[in-house]
Structure 1
Amino acid sequence: MKYATGMNYIRTESLPHMWCAGCGDGIVVRAIACALENLELDPRKVVMVSGIGCWGKADDYFTCNALHTTHGRALSYASGVKSANPELTVVVLMGDGDGTTIGGNHLLHAARRNMDLTAVVVNNYNYGMTGGQASATTPHDACTSTSVLGNPERSVDVCELAKVAGANYVARETVTQGTRLTKRIQEGISNKGFSVIEVASPCTTLFGPRNKMRQPLDMFRWLKEKGVSETKFNKIENAAEQGYFKIGKFVDRHEPDFNTSYETMRSRLAQKEGK
């Protein structure tokens, strides 16, 4: 049996990577590379669109085309790339700041538009690159550099937002599940329409030490304990209040709805103009 290594899609000359010891970003890079290998995609026809932040540097490590954009606007640029050349496979690399805090409005409308893009949102629960400030996904009561006594706000659920906004594929995994994460990303890329794969990966340098995860191993143990299937989550009393969260696949529409598929609607308009 052949096992994907993803090495044909990784720029080895850029290694070692720039992330902190114990950071899960490297695991996500390999998961994406293995997904591309399993799908046998031509790197010349794949575009990695990234924003700003720790995860925004991920485009440096792929042999594919790369477009490094502004903070919170990665989905806007990605939509432009896909519109200009629908034949390209476009993967959007965003952190929780890019994807839900500064860029939350773009996430909402990308899901509503249902264009064929795959967004990989690495959720590290704070602004890791700029000092550990609270983001939209920082859990309630969690400590950050801007919420030293605990976050007073409720957090945004990335998957629920994408789901209700109309995304065609929605899933969440953690960096402890490398093989399953590869599968989710592969499914998201294969699905025609807007796909969102959230990856839980708490910042090991700034978020973890402030929230009883002093070492990277503590973070991995926390993810394994708190990330549970939807079935198990529903059986735990007050699961969310205890810090549990659902992992798995939540939406998987194999074909876009005719009325919401951006590409289908654009094709119809082109046909009308041609008559």
Structure 2
Amino acid sequence: MGKTFSRPKAMSDNHTHYCPGCTHGIVHRLVAEVIDELDIRDRTVGIAPVGCAVLAYNYFNCDFQEAAHGRAPAMATGIKRVRPDLMVFTYQGDGDLASIGMGEIMHAANRGEKFTVIFINNAIYGMTGGQMAPTTMPDQWATTSPKGRDTAKTGMPLRMANILSQLVTPAYITRQTVLKPQQVNKTKKAIKQAFQYQLEDKCFSLVEVISTCPTNWGMTPLDALKWAEEKLLPYYELGDYKVPE
């Protein structure tokens, strides 16, 4: 019997630094599988964020850059404009993209920069200790909201796919998740579509992925999956929010 499952060539064999139950590793693998299937590894450049995925460059066998906090879209813009033949993607968390990087992602999308964004939304700051993020749910506990997020003082969580889809510039904006196997398959299809649009020099693309953070949520991995399904998915509705005409 032949081998039916193996490590993608675009993924390194380094041991992960992510916490048990963290879904970053799943999304890393999906990106690596897509890079292999499209045969673009030799001309792909990834950009790591500041956050839990700051060490993303350790897990991919392709060129990688490290951006200052929130500035990955600016770096991606520069690389893609200088070398439009390259396949450029940013990998960003919600603190990196939706907080300090809000201006960068909004203007990159509005300009229609032709790179791909993989956006991990786990509703909390991970690496820095579990502080409230722009995506933290109402009444959700965080180290900076020990009584739960008070929306009367902080506003409602930002739904980035919804916001970016309102821009006039044509783009591919979708929200998916990796909580269940069938959802993992849909997320991979979305990531592949996003890279395909870049191959066709068509548009800016962003794939938002609803994820878990068991450590900073104070839950077991299984409880985190359940909580995400019950609390996050009703608010962060899955599906395509914008597709190019």
TM-score past 0.5 threshold: yes
Shift of 1:111: 0.8
Shift of 1:189: 1.1
Larger radius of gyration: 1
Q: RMSD of the alignment, in Å?
A: 1.8
- How many residue pairs get aligned? The number is 231
8 Å contact from structure 1 (residues 167, 196) kept in 2: no
Gaps of 5+ in 2: none
Alignment of 1:73-222 (within 5 A): 73-152=71-150, 153=154, 154-165=156-167, 166=169, 168-176=171-179, 177-191=183-197, 192-206=202-216, 208-209=217-218, 214-222=219-227
Moved more, 75-84 or 164-173: 164-173
Letter of the 1:193 counterpart: C
SS in 1 for 2:9: helix
In 2 relative to 1, CA 224–141 (structure 1 residues): closer, same or farther, beyond 3 Å? closer
8 Å contact from structure 1 (residues 172, 198) kept in 2: yes
8 Å contact from structure 1 (residues 4, 38) kept in 2: no
Q: Deviations over 1:51-83 (max 9, x none)?
A: 111023222200110001111111111111001
Mapped to 2, the partners of 1:222 and 1:4 lie a distance apart of 30
SS in 1 for 2:90: strand
Mapped to 1, the partners of 2:23 and 2:88 lie a distance apart of 22
Letter of the 1:203 counterpart: C
Shift of 1:218: 1.3
Mapped to 2, the partners of 1:141 and 1:167 lie a distance apart of 35
Letter of the 1:202 counterpart: T
Mapped to 2, the partners of 1:251 and 1:75 lie a distance apart of 19
SS in 2 for 1:245: coil
SS in 2 for 1:246: coil
Mapped to 2, the partners of 1:89 and 1:5 lie a distance apart of 24
In 2 relative to 1, CA 117–5 (structure 1 residues): closer, same or farther, beyond 3 Å? farther
Structure 1 length as normaliser, TM-score? Answer: 0.79
Mapped to 2, the partners of 1:55 and 1:82 lie a distance apart of 22
Alignment of 1:32-111 (within 5 A): 32-41=31-40, 43-111=41-109
Partner of 1:17: 16
Q: Which has the higher contact order (CA 8 A, sep 6+)?
A: 2
